[in-house]
Amino acid sequence: MSTQKMHGHPALIIGAGRGGSALLEMFMEDSLVRVIAIADTNPDAPGIRMAKEYGIPTYTDAVSALKACKDYPDCIVFNLSQNDDVAEDVNKVLGNKRVASGLEVKLFWQMVTNLKQVKEELEKSQRQLQAIIHNAMDGIIMIDEYGEIQGFNPAAEQIFGYLQKDVLGKNVALLMPEETRSEHDSYIARYIQTGIKRMIGKRGREVIALRKNGEQFPMEISVSEMVLGGLRYFVGITRDITERKLTEQKIAHLAHHDYLTGLPNRVLFLNNLEHSIGLAKRNNYKLSVLFLDLDGFKKVNDTLGHEAGDLLLQEVAKRLKEIIRESDTVARVGGDEFTFVLDNIGSGENASLTAKKIIAVLAEPFKLSGQQCHIGGSLGIALFPDDANQIGQLIKQADDAMYLAKQSGKNTYKFYRELLR
DSSP tag of 8:
S
Strand arrangement of the beta sheet that strand 76-79 belongs to: 58-59, 33-39, 9-14, 76-79, 99-100
Alpha carbon of residue 327 to chain centroid = 37
Euclidean distance between CA atoms 348 and 416, whole angstroms:
11
Environment class of residue 229 by beta-carbon count within 10 Å: exposed (0-12), middle (13-18) or buried (19+)?
exposed
Residue type at position 95: G
Contact 383, 400 (CB under 8 A): no
* Dihedral sign computed on CA atoms, order 303, 364, 296, 266: positive
Task: List the catalytic residue out of 89, 336, 387, 399.
Answer: 336
**Rounded Cα–Cα distance for residues 98 and 74 (Å):** 10
The DSSP H or E segment spanning 118 is helix 102-135
Residue 144 is among the residues annotated as catalytic for this protein: no
Residue 344's CB: how many other CB atoms inside 10 A? 16
How far apart (Å, rounded) are the C-alpha atoms in residues 43 and 170?
Answer: 55
How is 356-418 classified by DSSP, letter by letter?
HHHHHHHHS-EEETTEEE--EEEEEEEEETTT-SSHHHHHHHHHHHHHHHHHTTSSSEEEGGG
Whether the bond into 385 is cis, omega within 30 of 0:
yes
Q: How far is CA 180 from the centre of its chain?
A: 18
- Catalytic positions are 336
